[in-house]
Amino acid sequence: MKVLDIHSHFLPAKWDDFGARFGTPDWPWMRQLGDGKAMLMIGDTDFRPVYSACWDPDVRLAEMDRDGVDQQIISATPILFAYERPAAQALYCAQVFNDIALDICANTCNRLHTLAQVPLQDIDFSCKEVSRAKNSGHVGVQIGNHVGPKNMEGEGLVAFLQHCAEEDMPVFVHPWDMVGGERTSKYMMGWTVSMPAETQLSIVSMILGGVFDRVSPKLKICFAHGGGSFVFLLGRLENAWLHRDIARGQSKHPPSHYLNRFYLDSAVFDDGALRLLVEKMGEDRVMFGTDYPFPLGEQEMGKLVSESRQISQTAKEKILAGNAAKFFGIKI
Ligand code: CO
């Protein structure tokens, strides 16, 4: 079986000192520790321990070979989005990381591909950067699932997504900057509890904000982590839509009507959850994703899908590579 992982991340070994360039504090940077290890820093604070697979394609390809992964799509780590910064700074930041991402993928015999990032707080800048990224070889664009208090709805987001549809640039939505604040600050609950809620919030906002009613059906959009808590709670959402008019928002149809307008990755870490994804979304709308090489990623890449006892062989082949090959226009 061919295997194409659509959800993995990169970090450059080092990059411009944005703090010095822009004269503002708390930009992310890499504190290299030697021996292939580094600490991703936010200003003076440790954010996440990382290792050389993030920046060294040889290390990445060796680990892909170990687990039988043929191709991988790399995307930025959401902490690099800079949506809270002035838009011109975020654009500069996006261009730096987009160009480095292409360098990481170069000379890997078409095994690594990359998604661009954009300064989503500015729709004109974002549209221009998507077009530049397409022309320079990115296979799609990754966006964070909100800009400050703005969920995934509204005129600006619709215009951006419409531009992506017209450019045939697939969109991958990644949760970041999670809800919950102090109450989820312990035990990595920001990742295990808030992150799935963020993704659910995004899908619900798009549906009830009427985004799918307004944007072209040509738009290809995929949400990370199996859609977070969306699929499991779809019945609750549907019930609210049917029985309370204030729960309907601007959507013309009940939420379940829109399941054929988006895709989800397979990063759910549980066979029963994978079966539910396939049952609800259909086997054509789930794509293999690992969250490699971060600590909460799938430790043995591909195992959940390839060893599933609850989905068919045909579904496995589609999820592991076929669906993503069509979605991103990648030859497998
Ligand atoms: Co991720």
pLDDT band at 104 (very low <50, low <70, confident <90, very high): very high
Query: What is the pLDDT of the chain when averaged over all its residues?
Result: 97
Residue 298 · residue 68 · CB < 8 Å: no
Say whether pLDDT at 266 is over 90.
Answer: yes
**Mean pLDDT of the region 44-73:** 97
Quote the ligand 1 centre to 293 CA distance (angstroms): 9
**Mean pLDDT of the region 10-36:** 95
Exposed / middle / buried, residue 99 (Cβ in 10 Å: 0-12, 13-18, 19+): middle
**Mean pLDDT of the region 223-236:** 98
Quote the ligand 1 centre to 224 CA distance (angstroms): 7
| Residue 209 burial (CB count, 10 A) | 19
Quote the ligand 1 centre to 74 CA distance (angstroms): 10
For the chain, the 3-state helix, strand and coil shares in percent, each to the nearest 5, are 45, 15, 40
pLDDT of residue 217: 98
- Sign of the dihedral defined by the CA atoms of residues 287, 293, 297, 300, in that order: positive
Quote the ligand 1 centre to 9 CA distance (angstroms): 6
Quote the ligand 1 centre to 76 CA distance (angstroms): 9
Quote the ligand 1 centre to 10 CA distance (angstroms): 10
**Mean pLDDT of the region 46-66:** 97
pLDDT of residue 219: 98
Quote the ligand 1 centre to 291 CA distance (angstroms): 5
Residue 319 · residue 287 · CB < 8 Å: yes
Percent of the chain clearing pLDDT 70 (strictly above): 100
Say whether pLDDT at 295 is over 90.
Answer: no
Quote the ligand 1 centre to 7 CA distance (angstroms): 6
pLDDT band at 269 (very low <50, low <70, confident <90, very high): very high
pLDDT band at 53 (very low <50, low <70, confident <90, very high): very high
What global pTM score does this model have? 0.98
Quote the ligand 1 centre to 252 CA distance (angstroms): 32
Give per-residue burial for 11-44: e unless 16+ CB within 10 Å, then b: bbeebeebeeebeeeebbbbeeeeeeebebbeee
pLDDT of residue 250: 97
pLDDT of residue 109: 92
Quote the ligand 1 centre to 70 CA distance (angstroms): 19
Quote the ligand 1 centre to 53 CA distance (angstroms): 15
Quote the ligand 1 centre to 174 CA distance (angstroms): 6
**Mean pLDDT of the region 323-328:** 98
Quote the ligand 1 centre to 244 CA distance (angstroms): 35
Return the SS3 of 65.
helix
Quote the ligand 1 centre to 276 CA distance (angstroms): 21
Quote the ligand 1 centre to 105 CA distance (angstroms): 18
Quote the ligand 1 centre to 135 CA distance (angstroms): 25
- Full set of structural domains in the chain with CATH: 4-327 (3.20.20.140)
Quote the ligand 1 centre to 241 CA distance (angstroms): 30
Quote the ligand 1 centre to 265 CA distance (angstroms): 10
Quote the ligand 1 centre to 242 CA distance (angstroms): 33
DSSP calls for 223-270: ESGGGTTTTTTHHHHHHHHHH-GGG-TT-SS-GGGGGGG-EEE-TT--
